[in-house]
């Protein structure tokens, strides 16, 4: 089954892969990524094709069993396609796995930005399908949804439960519109977790510890966190930075529209410090050219574990400093923070340095804010020089508080 899951679609053509055990059985992969099983046979001198069902709703073992039944009928002189016999014991098109894949192919991928589609697909395949696999969508009710969300909350990820509810609601609305189900069971189910706007900003003392901790834990997460702080860009935008996105001799980083949250390409002037960090990264082989990668095939990941290492190192350094100062080291604590807080910290820091609000917004790639109305329509200045000056000033401030000459 793992070998089947690893098979990738070809954007130019449909793939038909013969089964090694049952001659006549084929695994079909559409350019869209949709996967299914089919049997090919001959009847009255003509080649015929019988579709068995979609994968993963119909798994390998069941596909072989259904395929053998169809081929046995052919050996008896029957034509399963012409006679429209039901080969599959029960319909697979209504299984949640089949519905999810159809939803992805017909709605999620073509109607969403790549990043949004990727996140929705991830949620449905990792949070929903493992729990409901093999069940018909018509059997799923309000109680099933609530129990699924409770399980995600109990696993310690309440915000992920909110995102799952949103994805499920879209799936069930789509299925309702197509007549697959009569009503959306997510209606009136409240988001499991309350989400509040965060205002956490790291102090200069905390940034001092952070920079030292990043240096201590090293590549790849140390430089990654430092670049988050210096560029003020989003986590995934930095994690998936590619060599082809660097311009003007490596002094400018252009985030392409398909990777930017607001769908608009964004130029990020790189300070001298940021350029030095990028220049120090090991070059990992890989066609995609990711700059911060351990495999070469994807950007850095494993944020939770790496963040825990960074937190532990910051705390250890803070306690070492307390001991040197003759203070109670055991009383030292670091207030919890998230990687996204580095973006807010950078924005706040630039403001403290006297950077104009509209320039800070330009650095952050915000398209709404201080410049609105008629001024927004006519003001098309990109603030490139101002953004570079702001990020250089911020890098200089970080260098001053970090206490490192190369910072």
3-state class percentages of the chain: helix first, strand second, coil last, to nearest 5: 55, 10, 35
Give the three-state DSSP class for 24.
Answer: coil
Hey, CA dihedral for 289, 290, 294, 298, is it positive or negative? negative
Q: Name beta bridge partners: 136.
A: 95
Element (H, E) at 64: helix 60-75
pLDDT at position 288, please? 80
Cα separation of 292 and 272, whole Å?
A: 18
Length of the chain: 407
- Which residue, 297, 303, 275, is CA-closest to 285? 297
Name the DSSP class of 293: -
pLDDT at position 367, please? 65
**Do 13 and 31 form a contact (C-beta atoms < 8 A)?**
yes
- Which residue, 313, 339, 317, is CA-closest to 329? 317
**Dihedral angle of Cα 121, 169, 260, 348, to the nearest 10 degrees:** -130
- Kindly state the tokens that stand for 381: 């200045």
**Dihedral angle of Cα 387, 392, 396, 402, to the nearest 10 degrees:** 80
pLDDT at position 97, please? 94
CA angle 71, 72, 78 (to 5 degrees): 85
- Residue by residue, pLDDT tens for the chain (407 residues) are 557 777 888 877 889 999 989 999 999 998 877 888 999 999 888 889 998 888 887 888 889 999 999 999 899 888 888 775 444 445 688 999 999 999 999 999 998 888 788 899 999 999 999 999 999 999 999 999 999 999 999 988 888 999 999 999 999 999 999 999 999 999 999 999 887 767 899 999 999 999 999 999 999 999 999 999 999 999 999 999 999 999 999 999 999 988 887 778 899 999 999 999 999 999 888 778 899 998 888 899 889 899 999 999 999 999 999 999 998 888 889 999 999 999 999 999 999 999 999 999 999 998 655 544 444 433 445 789 999 999 999 999 999 998 765 44
- Which residue, 120, 97, 122, is CA-closest to 108? 120
Q: How many CA atoms lie within 13 A of 255 on its CB side?
A: 25
User: Alpha helix (H) ranges present in 182-264?
Assistant: 204-217, 221-231, 235-239
Domains of the chain: residue spans and CATH? 2-83 (3.30.160.390), 96-177 (1.10.150), 204-402 (1.10.443.10)
Question: Model pTM greater than 0.85?
Answer: no
């Amino acid at each position: 089954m793992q070998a089947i899951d690893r098979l990738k679609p070809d954007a130019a053509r449909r793939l038909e892969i013969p089964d090694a055990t049952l001659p006549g059985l084929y695994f079909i992969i559409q350019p869209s990524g949709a996967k299914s099983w089919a049997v090919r046979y001959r009847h009255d001198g003509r080649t015929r094709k019988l579709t068995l069902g979609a994968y993963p709703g119909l798994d390998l073992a069941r596909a072989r069993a259904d395929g053998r039944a169809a081929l046995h009928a052919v050996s008896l002189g029957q034509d399963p396609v012409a006679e429209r016999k039901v080969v599959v014991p029960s319909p697979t098109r209504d299984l949640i796995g089949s519905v999810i894949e159809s939803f992805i192919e017909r709605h999620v991928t073509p109607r969403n930005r790549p990043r949004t589609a990727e996140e929705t697909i991830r949620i449905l395949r990792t949070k929903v399908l493992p729990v409901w696999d093999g069940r018909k969508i018509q059997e799923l009710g309000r109680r099933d949804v609530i129990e699924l969300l409770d399980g995600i909350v109990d696993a310690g990820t309440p915000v992920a439960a909110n995102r799952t509810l949103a994805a499920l609601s879209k799936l069930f609305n789509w299925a309702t519109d197509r007549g697959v189900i009569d009503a959306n069971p997510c209606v009136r189910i409240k988001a499991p977790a309350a989400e509040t706007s965060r205002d956490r900003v790291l102090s200069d003392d905390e940034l001092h510890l952070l920079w030292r901790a990043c240096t201590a834990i090293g590549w790849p997460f140390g430089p990654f966190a430092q670049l988050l702080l210096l560029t003020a860009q989003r986590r995934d935008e930095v994690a998936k930075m590619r060599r082809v996105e660097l311009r003007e001799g490596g002094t400018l980083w252009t985030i392409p529209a398909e990777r930017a949250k607001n769908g608009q390409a964004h130029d990020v002037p790189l300070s001298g410090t940021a350029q030095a960090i990028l220049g120090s990264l090991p070059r990992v082989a890989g066609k995609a050219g990711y700059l911060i990668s351990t495999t070469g095939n994807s950007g850095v990941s494993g944020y939770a574990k790496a963040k825990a290492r960074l937190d532990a190192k910051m705390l250890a350094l803070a306690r070492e400093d307390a001991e040197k100062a003759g203070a109670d080291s055991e009383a030292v604590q670091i207030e919890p923070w998230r990687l996204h807080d580095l973006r807010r910290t950078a924005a706040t820091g630039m403001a403290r340095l006297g950077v104009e609000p509209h320039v800070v917004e330009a650095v952050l790639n915000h398209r709404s804010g201080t410049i609105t109305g008629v001024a927004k329509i006519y003001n098309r200045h990109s603030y490139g020089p101002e953004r570079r000056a702001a990020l250089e000033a911020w890098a200089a401030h970080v260098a001053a508080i970090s206490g490192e000459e190369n910072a």
